[in-house]
Structure formats: structure tokens, C-alpha cells
Structure 1
Amino acid sequence: MGVQQSNINENIPFLSNMKMIMDKGNFQIYENDKNQKFDYKEFKSTQNSFQNELEVAREIQNQNFTGMAKIEDIIVQTCEKWFTKYFTLCILIEHPKYSLKEYKQKNDKTLSNQQITELLVSITQAQHILGVKKQYLSLDNIFTNDGNIWKLRPFFESESSYYNLIRFKSQNIVNFQLDGFPAPEEFFGYICDTDRVQVFNLGMIILELITKQKSNDIYKEYKVDETLLQQRIQSMLKLKSQFCGNFIDIIIEMLDTDSVRRPNFEQLLKKLKSPSSQIVYLQTKINFVKEIPKLNLLDSINLFEDSTLNKYDEAKLSKALQQAKIEISDYIMKTRQELQNIKNAQTKLDKNGQKYHGQIVNNLYEGKGHLFSKSGDLIYEGEFSKGYFHGWGVEYHQNSIQLEKSYNFEVCQDIMEYFKKYEGCYQFGKKSGVGRLILTNGEIFCGEFRNDQINGFGEFQNKSNNIIIGIWNNGLIKSNSGLKNDLISFRSDEFQNQTEQLQNQIQSNQQQNQGDQKVDKPEKQFNGISKLESCRSFLEQSTNNHLQYFNQKLSQNRKDHKIYYDDANTILKYEGQLFTGQMHGRGTLYFKNGTIQYEGDFVNGKYEGYGILKNENPKIEMNINYNDLRDVNIKGWWEQYQGTFSKGEKQGQGYWHLTDNSVLLGMFEKDEVHGDGYLKRPKKEDFYAQWENGILHKVLQGKL
């Protein structure tokens, strides 16, 4: 994320009354007057404005998720130094007392079966919340205050323990200690799904806690000893009756050496939440955080982080929005019907004069109910949890500002001041999920919300009944908006008729699908897209780690670098780590003109691992034949490859930027596209297909 050191800590308001008790370089630990300890982290960059990080941080702060160290304060600011503008993200995070390693040492190396179960559930849920920012796990980055609740610190970078093990091997260290555990596929140069690698990693930690035998022993030969692993699993099976439900069976699935069968974190969480798991005492805790409904996101936006809406994107988005409108109407209608049949309804008068009528648990609004103002006006009708609006409901804004002119849909950050009615989904008092917002001038936004901001895909209907389709990020439109004229008003009878027709069609399709056991074509496409989404997530994480290491300001990363020159000792050729006289580790290889040719990982003088490779003399070709991509390599019709390598060749997963401004995200083998690939082309339909050694094998979606 850039430079992680600064001299502006004294200007951070939430540090003014706190004492720094430890400085660890990348972060400091502070203590307040109540003897509470907090980690302070500061991220600084000249390019990244940290909007995405800020969004995740605010969500963690607002929800106080189980399994996540609480974020106490967040600040984003800018500063200038040497005429350069820096964006700075400052975060103050709860500092749990013990790491799992420290807690084991303190408590004679044993955890109760319930503690082990709680740890698995908490950390699984935390990883799922972090999404692409999830961490490689170890005994050192799982924390607790009391041994009952286990947490991760968000925004702390982690690295697979595979790299530690390889370093031990290269230095011939025999008596090494691992605190985290690599997955089998990491040793064979296979395409690794980082999600499943991290699930195996967590499974090994749980295995050690259950059997009370060090998982470190399984890696004594610098690889996974599968025989010893199976012996440990058999030892764990003997203890199955001591754990609730199918807990041990779930751990065995996490330790499956076949990464295809092994679950990812989303699947793992579903297994834990399922009633069939019979982990009864955990169900309430897991189900407390509801899933936020989401629209069908556009594949090209997800995979390429593109902001361009072409006609194909708009068609997908229009269909998703139409389904979202039906979902909103159905849920609101269902909620209102249930409100009419509330059992054991109670009435409560708050200190501020507001009146509540509905379900109450532990003196908090819980379930369904109505909330009225002091003057008797309806404020909210719908679902509640822990006293918050939570789930589906309708909010009526009592003090909204009257709009006379059209609202500026491109900048919606203050839109909540102007709405008179909201129908949709909430998360703990915040509009989060899909919803419909009606402004005081009659204009309507329908789409995605997060933390009381328009965030995601949606459409804005202005006073002239024009529909603007777009993508918003924290209230700011970030796409080229599509405009549709003369569309039907949400409130018209014609729209209601179309809604009923579409709903009947959906129900008919669902009934038909229930009788058909075959997997249809769209489902196959979805599975393939999901596979590429995992690929994109891995590349994003690899890129972040890459940028952190190679940032020129991080001189500590370059302390062991050597500089090689050509024979004339005049032109810089390579700067990086060396082993036995060869490029080995991380480094930068330069063209003769001094520009960067390759930046990334090397093994024995060749590209190996993750890196970014550039073409010194790309040849412009605007009519590339995608049926045979071998010519792209031969004739130099590419600009850059960003992904994984093996023995100097493209191998694994990566982005390939071609000279016709197209980008291919996909799988590679021996320098050629081989496997699934998703092609993004300007002003043309996205194309999803399979290639074999560079030759088109099977079209899965779209046309050339």
C-alpha cells in the first residue's frame, strides 16, 4: 500500500491523549488513560486514495463483527512532501492481549473443545468478511482477550508460510519452526486458489490444537508428509465424539489434499451454518450477521475493475435491476403482512418520546414492529435486531429537505438529506443492500446501498422520467452512465402489471427447474466465472504484496539487494537478491535503455512466482485473431503480462494486456493461454472461452 512511516502522528486527534508504549516500525501500540491498548497503523500512497480500504474499515467499525478486532477510529487525510501529494489512511484498532501462540504458552498448551470450535467459527467468519483482503493464518496472527472470542486484526499484511519454508530449505536449516502451514498444491507449482490454501492453513492449526501434536513435524522434509498427515487425521477421528455434531468431519474436509474438493471460506461458512452440521450452540452467533442482498454484478466489472458500461453491460444490469425491484416489492409486501399478524406485540415509550409497537426481547426492539415519532407520525415499519433497523423495512424521513430542481445523480453523497421514503434492506441501522429511495421532488433511485450511501449498481429516475443506469462508489458515479428514455415509472399501473408478469415467469421457471435435475448452461458459466473471480482475487493480493515490496521508499526491503552491470560496467542490468551467483528471490531486471523489463520473483536466474513483465517493442495490431493467440507471442502483439511464472514462462494465472487495448484474464501454460479465459475488449461484447495451447477450444459465453 505504499510507505508505512510518517512524521504526522502528532496531528492525529485520536492519538492526542494517548501514550505510545511500543514502536514496531510498521505500526505502533498506544495506551489510553483507561489502560486500554490499541494498534495504530498508517498507510501512505501517492496513487491510492484508500477509498476501498476506508469502506471496509467503516463497515467493520459499524458492525463490530465477530472474529474481527474492533476498529476504534479511522481518518483519511492528505499531505504534501517534496511537492508530492500523499493520501494517508490512519486506523486505530483494538489490541487483543494474546496471540494464539502466547495464549497456548500461558495456558499450558491446551484449549478446550468449545474454545477450538469457537476459534474455527470466528476466524472463518472474519476471513469471509475480509473478502479479497483475507489473511494467511498463523499462531501469531490469531488473537484473543479471554480465550472465548478469537479475532483477526484487519489490514495487517500476511504471507504464506510456504515462502518461510522455502527460505529454510535454501539455507539448509533443519530445526525450523513454522507458525503457519502451507497447502500441498503450493509445492508443485500448480495454479493455487488462495482461498482454499488459507482454508487448509486454518485446518492445520485446528488439527494441532485438537491432537496436541505440532503440525510443524509434517513439514520436516520441506514438503507435506501426507502419510504423517493422515496419521494425525486418524488420531483426530478418535476424538470425534468429544466434539459437537459434524465438527471433525468439517475439519477433515478442510485438510483434503485435493484442492478441488476442499471448500473455500464461503462454502466452509455455509457448512458451519447448516443445521445438518448440528453445531447447535453456534447457530445463533453465526446467523446474527445477515447476508446483504446483492445484484447480479457484471463479470467484466468484477474481473477487470473496468468502469465502462457498454450495451451488453447495460443489458445485464437492467435485468438485474428488474429482479431487484421485484425482490424489494415482494419482501416489503411480505413484511407488512407479517406485521399485521404479530404475536405477543408490546408497546414501549422511549425517553425521546418515540413510541414502538412490536416484538421486544431483553427490552430491545427485536423482530418486527412499528416506530412512531413523538407526534404520532410513522417513522419506520419492518424488521429490527438488537434495537436497530435490521433486515427489510420502510423508513419515512421526518425532516427531509424539499427539492425544487432535479438532484445531481453524479454526486449523491448528501442524498439522505432529501429522501422522503426508503424501501429496502438495512444492516444494524444503516441502509445496506438493495433498496428504493424516493426523493422529495419525486425522483427515485433503485439499486445498491452500503452504510447509508449509494454504493454499487443502480438506476436513477429523474423528473423527466429518464432512467440513468450507472455504478456508484460511496455516492459518486464512477461509470459512464447509460440513459434510457420513456421508461415506465415505478409507481405506474403498467409497472405493477409487468412486475406481476415477471414474477409469475420466475415462479414458473423455478417450478420447472425443481423437476429438472440437469445443470443448465448458465449455471456452468457461473461456475467458470467464479473460478476466474478466485483467480482475480489471487492476482489482486499478489499485486498488493508486490507493490509494497517494490516501492522505492521501502529501503528496508532492498538491504540485501545486489546490483549487476553489463560488461562495460555502464548500463544497469539487474538489481535484487542473488543466490549462488544467479538472480534468486525478488528483484528488478532492466532493458538496456534503463527501463524496467521485469519486476518480481526469480528462481535460479529465471522468472518464477509472481511478477510483471513488459514488452520492450510491442507491435500494434488492431485485428488480433483470438482463435489462435500463438501469434500474439510470436509477433509481439502484447504490452504487458501481470501474473505467475514458472521457469521463465507464463504459467498459472494472469492478466495479458494486448496491443489492441484488450485484456485477457485467464490461465496460462508454457507461455500460452491454456484453460479458461475472459477477454475484455473496448466497445465489444465480453468473451469467455477455453483455449488449448493458445488455440480456441470452446466458446462458453459471448461472440468474437
Structure 2
Amino acid sequence: MPENFIDGCFVYIHKKKLIILLILLSAVSIGFCFVVLPKIMADKPKKIIVNEPEMEDYSGKAVLIYKDSENVLYEGDMVDGHAEGFGMLYSENGKLIYEGGFSDDMYCGQGKLYAEDGSVIYIGLFENNKYHGHGTLYNILGEVLYTGGFSNGVYDGTGELSSAGLVYSGQFKEGLLSGEGTLSQDNNLIYKGGFQKNLFNGSGILYGDNGEIIYRGGFEDGKYSGDGEFYNNSQLVYRGSFSEGNYNGEGEIYSGKNLFYRGSFVSGTRTGEGTEYDENGNIVYSGNFENGIYNGSGSLYINGILFYTGDFVMGNRTGQGKEFDSNGHLIYEGGFLCGLYDGNGTLFDRETGYVVFSGNFRDGKALELPAETTPVINETVTVIANN
């Protein structure tokens, strides 16, 4: 055997290398005992009974258990007796309630909240035990109820809320739909525009079941308000001002593609000054309306030619007025009652414009004339009225 070697049964080992190997093994052993082992021991959670004095100032990993049942309450990081860092919280019967970040015993940072049956309630950010930041909330069926921003436990910022086929995507404020967004039912768009406190507010578009536009314009508290357009079967019905969901102010009504009325509205009815048109665009009536009926001062037209101008009561020519023939010649001026000459009035010759009769009328017939002339005058009245 060589002088500097040791007999190792099957091999010769150099003495110098053996010494080095022994030194290395000693160093590893010392390192394990003084560095690795303490770290392993430090990382091993310590079991502590809830509310025992030992818990009060403890820092490190811990498993908090109930004294009576020995079920785990909390497992995770602790600082000065409080949950701080990552941990898991359990119910009294051992069900996992929450896993994620903690700060001063409260949910904080990224975490996951569970229901008693183990289903997920929420995944996302927390602050002071409340949803805060981006997260996803689930319903009892495990379906996504909401995903988006939270603040102090309520929807806030941009998000998407779903329930029973109804989906809102847009802005939230303090848990309510507020700002710009879209509302859909079974993938069919219902509304697009502004919201405030869960109601349509501001500029928006309302859609029907087939995607056709029902209304486009202003909203306030869920009702049509301000300037807007109302449609039926994609045909424009009304354009103008709205208030409390009704036509109110100045506006236009359409019949098919033709303008039917332009003027004033009050609470959904034609009230105030306005003009009515026929299907050819000719003026039918221009003047005052009340609840959709000619009432007050106005002018009536036939085929766009002035036929009558004067007073109306509940749709009838009643009061003072003038009647014209189809060529625009004045044929009568005076009192009317329900469309007939009544009271003091004057008949004119349509050709010459001369006065034919001036006096009193009743039920469209002249009065206060000698018996032999009355039939002649009344015949003249009838002829004038029918032409």
C-alpha cells in the first residue's frame, strides 16, 4: 500500500482528500444544524389555542385551534398575535371560509371567499374585509354574477353584471348602474347610453325585441326627457321634446313617412299652437289645439286652400269666423255654431264680393226677412255653403 493512502477495502483513499472530505461533511452538518434546521423549525406552523396568552404576541406561521373541538380556526402568517400575510380562515365546523391576504386580522389583498358548501363566492382583491379593487362575484349556482371594479364592498368603476339572462356592461358608482353602459336580454341589446342610480339617464337608445330602435334621445329617471325620436316598427312616429315620458314642448308627428303634425304638445297631447297636414303635405289646419282637438283660434283648409279662419270650440267652428270658397273668395263673415252660420253675419257674392245679406242666422238659415224673400236668401245660403 502506498505511504500516503489508506486501505479502503476495495480502493486506496488518499489521506489528504479524506481529510478534506471530513472537513466538508463537518461544515455541512454544522450548517444544517445552525442554519437549515432552525429555518425548517421556524417555517413549521405552531399550534396555538385561540385566545390563549401564547397567541397574544406571537409572530410567525401558526395554526390556531379551538380549545374544545380542536378544529382549525386559522392557518397562516401572524405578526404580534394578528393574522398578517397569507392565511386560511375556517368556520367552527372546519369549512374553509377564506384564503388569501390578511392585514391586522382582516381580509386584504388578493383572496378567495367561500360559501358553507365550499362553492366560491368571490375571487379578487379585498381591503378591510370588503371587496375592493378588481374581482369576480358568483351566485349560488356558481355562475358569474359580476366581474369588475369594487369599492368598499360594492360595485364601482367598470364592470359587468349578469342575472337571469339580463346583462349590464358599463360603469358603476356606489353599487348602482351609473355612467355609460349597455343593457341586454338573452344577447339582444335593450339599451345603450347613460345611466344614473340604476335608471336610464342622459343620452341613450332603446331597442325592441328584434333590434329595432324604439327611442333615441334624452332620458331622465328612466323616462324620455328632452329632445328625442320615437319609433314604431322602425318608422319615425314623433320627433321633438319629451318630459316625464310624454311628448311635451315642440315636436312633430309622422304618419308613415309623411309629416302629420308640427307644433306644441302638453303631457302627450297636441295642445297649443300647431299645424296639421294631409298625406300630400297640404295644410289641413293651423291654429290652436287642446287635447288633440281644434280649440281656440285657427284656420281650416281643403286641399291646401283656406276654407275657414276663426274660432273653434271642441273641434267645431263656433264663435266668430270667415268662410271662403275653393277659389279663395270670401263668402261669409260672422257667427258660427257647430259649423253652421249662427248669430249676426254677412253673406257675400263670390264673384263680385258684394253683400248679399247682412243680419241674423240660426242653424245656418237667415232670419228677420220678409216671408217672400227668406226662401231666396236661404237658398243662396245653401248654395254658398255647398260650394
TM-score, structure 1 as length reference:
0.17
More strand, by proportion: 2
More helix, by proportion: 1
TM-score, structure 2 as length reference:
0.30
Compare relative contact order (CA 8 Å, sep 6+) and give the higher one, 1 or 2.
Answer: 1
Q: Which of 1 and 2 has greater Rg?
A: 2
